[in-house]
Amino acid sequence: MTSKIWGGRFSAGPSAIMEEINASVGFDQRLAKQDLRGSRAHCAMLVKAGLISKEDGEAIQGGLARIEKDVADGNFVFKLALEDVHMNIEARLTDLIGAQAGRLHMARSRNDQVATDFRLWVRAAVDNIEEQLLKIQSALIDKAEAHVDTVMPGFTHLQAAQVVTFGHHLLAYVEMFGRDRGRFSDARRRLNECPLGAGALAGTSFPIDRQQTAKKLDFDRPMANSMDAVSDRDFALEFLSASSVLATHLSRFAEELVIWSSAQFGFIHFTDAFSTGSSMMPQKRNPDAAELVRAKSGRVFGGLITLLTVMKALPLTYSKDMQEDKEAVFSTFDTLELCLAATLGMVIDMKAAPERMRAAASVGFTTATDLADWLTQTLNLPFRESHQITGQIVKLAESKRCELSELALEDMQTVEPRITKGVFDVLTVDASVASRTSFGGTAPYNVRSQITAARKRYLKEGPA
Mind telling me the catalytic residues? 157, 278
Helix (H, G, I), strand (E, B) or coil at 154: strand
Enclosing H/E stretch for 371: helix 368-379
Contact 193, 220 (CB under 8 A): yes
Per DSSP (E only), the strands in 38-194 are 151-156, 159-165, 193-194
The 10 Å Cβ neighbour count of residue 411 is: 16
Give Cβ neighbours of residue 332 (< 8 Å, ≥ 6 apart).
Answer: 239, 240, 243, 299, 300, 303, 304
Dihedrals phi, psi of 265, to nearest 5 degrees: -95, -60
Do you find a cis peptide bond into 369, omega within 30 degrees of 0?
no
Single out the residue of 62, 56, 59, 65 nearest to residue 36, CA to CA.
Answer: 65
Q: Determine the residue type at 346.
A: M
Helix (H, G, I), strand (E, B) or coil at 445: helix
DSSP string, 315-334: PSS--GGGGGHHHHHHHHHH
User: What angle do helix axes 234-260 and 325-349 make, rounded to 10 degrees?
Assistant: 30
The 10 Å Cβ neighbour count of residue 118 is: 23
Residues of 17-34 as b/e, b for ≥16 C-beta within 10 angstroms?
Answer: eeeeeebbbebbbbbbbb
Give Cβ neighbours of residue 173 (< 8 Å, ≥ 6 apart).
Answer: 140, 249, 253
Q: What count of Cα atoms within 13 Å lies in the side-chain half-sphere of residue 373?
A: 14
Question: CA 229 to CA 29: how far, in whole Å?
Answer: 22
Question: CA 43 to CA 34: how far, in whole Å?
Answer: 14
